[in-house]
Structure 1
Amino acid sequence: MIRPYNQNDYNRICEIYNASKLDELRYEATPFKLQPLERDSKRRKALVESDLYVYEQGGIIGFTAVHDLEIRALFVCSRYRGMGVGEALLRWVVDRFPGDLCLYVACSNSPAIALYEKHGFRLTDTYLTEYNSEPVWAGKMVRQAR
């Protein structure tokens, strides 16, 4: 079940984020050090500004964050990956937010890119950014409204 976030979900959101964040960078040549969400003011601010939704199945196992048609986060607890949770969250957002959706993804994160492409997102730009002061190539992906 997908439902809106409430304040009681904060600790679990942080747990999932902290356990999953480096997984999105696992294909990079350089190893990264985790900046926990609680201490990452840039990413915490982006989440706080967003509408958050959690996927519950005997507890929260994933979440997504959307702000002004930008998907700012989509994280799934590692043991539930490959079971359709991320895809369900993505479909849920696509169905409820009409308009041109966009998101940003590490260019090396081919599994995530494949999922987004399957749902109509296309790479429109690449640029150099950083995570915890380490450089990362990222891509902007857009899904045109249908």
Structure 2
Amino acid sequence: MQIRRAVEGDAEALAEVHHRSRESAGGLIPPAVHPVEALHRFTRDVVVPHREAYLAEDHDGTALGTLVLDGDDVDWLYVAPEAQGRGVGRALLEHAKSLRPNGLALWAFASNHPARTFYERHGFVAVRETDGDNEEGAPDVRYVWGGHPEATDPATGASGHR
């Protein structure tokens, strides 16, 4: 497996991994609010040209997973259903950590217990929850790793989250 920066021609593969991963999650995450065609346009017009998008590929070029960073936020981390359980998510998350050694943050749906367990196993700490302040209107949890500004200062107990 290799992880590389996505280019314009990768937009379809990125969108498909995102879509298929969400679809395979069943009831763990709410359904997407936008049609798949809009996801493809958004990926082509916004994600690839304006964010840091990475593609994990098998040796034959098959898309296995996606990572999108927006500043110090992990905006997307999706693994193709057939590649789950093979270390793709771990490799993508380690790649993100190597790119942002000072800290990362992300949102996970409160109902997505496998994702939450995954992030916690990799050192992310929940710092706050919402009752659905997102497009899907579903409760979510904010996670941080490392020295991210939203992390709680252990010496004072003060939280840096906004």
TM-score by length of 2: 0.76
Q: C-alpha separation between the residues in 2 aligned to 1:60 and 1:78?
A: 11
Q: C-alpha separation between the residues in 2 aligned to 1:106 and 1:25?
A: 13
- Work out which structure has the larger RCO, using CA pairs closer than 8 Å and 6 or more positions apart in sequence: 1
Q: C-alpha separation between the residues in 1 aligned to 2:33 and 2:18?
A: 10
Partner residue in 1 for 2:38: 39
Which runs of 5 or more structure 2 residues have no equivalent in the other structure? 149-162
Answer whether contact 1:76 1:85 (CA < 8 A) is retained: yes
Partner residue in 2 for 1:105: 108
Which protein has the larger Cα radius of gyration, Structure 1 or Structure 2? 2
CA deviation profile, 1:69-110 (whole Å, cap 9, x unmatched): 100000111011011101110011112212121000001111
Answer whether contact 2:97 2:103 (CA < 8 A) is retained: no
The answer to whether 1:129 aligns with 2:133 is: yes
Q: 2:94 aligns with which of 67, 91, 94?
A: 91
Q: C-alpha separation between the residues in 2 aligned to 1:17 and 1:72?
A: 11
Answer whether contact 2:53 2:68 (CA < 8 A) is retained: yes
Q: 1:119 aligns with which of 118, 122, 126?
A: 122
The answer to whether 1:3 aligns with 2:4 is: yes
Q: 1:138 aligns with which of 125, 137, 140?
A: 140
Larger proportion of strand: 1
The count of residues paired between Structure 1 and Structure 2 equals 141
Shift of 1:33: 5.5
TM-score by length of 1: 0.84
Q: Which runs of 4+ in 1 moved over 4 A?
A: 43-46
Change in 2 beyond 3 A, CA 1:89/1:105:
same
Which runs of 5 or more structure 1 residues have no equivalent in the other structure? none
Partner residue in 1 for 2:159: none
SS of 1:13 mapped into structure 2: helix
After superposing the two structures, state which structure 1 stretch, 67-76 or 32-41, moved more: 32-41
| 2:15 maps to amino acid | C
